[in-house]
Amino acid sequence: MQGKICMVTGASRGIGRAVALGLARRGATVILVCRDTQRGAAACDAIRGASGNQAVHLMTADLASFDSIRGLAKAYREQFHQLHVLINNAGVVKLQRAETPDGLETTFAVNHLAPFLLTHLLLPTLQRSAPSRIVNVSSVVHRWGAIDIDDLQGERRYDGDKAYNQSKLANVLFTYELARRLSGTGVTVNSMEPGMTATAIGSEYTGFKRFMNWAWRPFMASPEQAADTVVFLACAAELEEVSGKHFVKRRDVRSSKASYDEALARRLWGVSERLTLRKE
């Protein structure tokens, strides 16, 4: 990965941090996108020390804010002229419905609309840098997800788990639709699911769910184990022309039946475009 520039969102801890370290160890220039400046700076220092690679940089952004995402993309384009790998990893779970500064439901906005917008803003740079890659981190729960196209924001009825499952299915639908639209450009896009991983993603759980999250923790994959497939998708030479696929443990697998609904993918794309690009 010498000479390659990679951006990883949600890179201050968990899978994102492990991915950033894996890429740094392979010689890439790595951009960590973090919301918290202090925690992001600490992650950068730790990755530089562990990898011996000093080309590890921090860019701060709140992916719950479209203005912040636009600022991130603008700052990146001003500082860097190429981008070879974009890894959309950041994600949240909100058990209680909350809204972003843009007035959108937070889980859907951060997990789906944020990578949708960031990818669009950086797409010209990715295309100039081709061959380049986009990796979207989904989840096994996309298999239980359903897209409620008439209530994407959970305004009628909100369930935190269903909102998260929906957002992870949206990641896969976005991956496949984007792959179709980028065919022949030299930019590939694939999604993956890391499996049950010991991260902070379930920190909002209470009661029985909190107990089960704790009880299952010894059996969960480590962030480093989960990151392996992401790094593989970013680096493997044999995947240079592979696009529109879904991976588990480095293997191309079938995703959920709903994820192959092209009409649904186009409808979701249209809604996402109107919500994210309305101020462009």
Catalytic positions, please?
A: 164
Return d(Cα 202, Cα 24) in angstroms, integer. 27
Q: Strand 85-88 relative to strand 56-60: parallel, antiparallel, unpaired?
A: unpaired
Return d(Cα 52, Cα 46) in angstroms, integer. 10
Return d(Cα 27, Cα 246) in angstroms, integer. 26
Q: Strand 251-253 relative to strand 246-248: parallel, antiparallel, unpaired?
A: antiparallel
Return d(Cα 52, Cα 27) in angstroms, integer. 9
H or E segment and range at residue 30: strand 29-34
For 90, list phi and psi in degrees, rounded to 5. Answer: -60, 140
H or E segment and range at residue 270: helix 262-276
- Map tokens 């843009």 to a residue: 102
Residue 43 contacts residue 32 (beta carbons within 8 Å): yes
Residue 62 contacts residue 90 (beta carbons within 8 Å): no
**Residue 207 burial (CB count, 10 A):** 7
Do you find a cis peptide bond into 131, omega within 30 degrees of 0?
Answer: yes
Return d(Cα 129, Cα 82) in angstroms, integer. 5
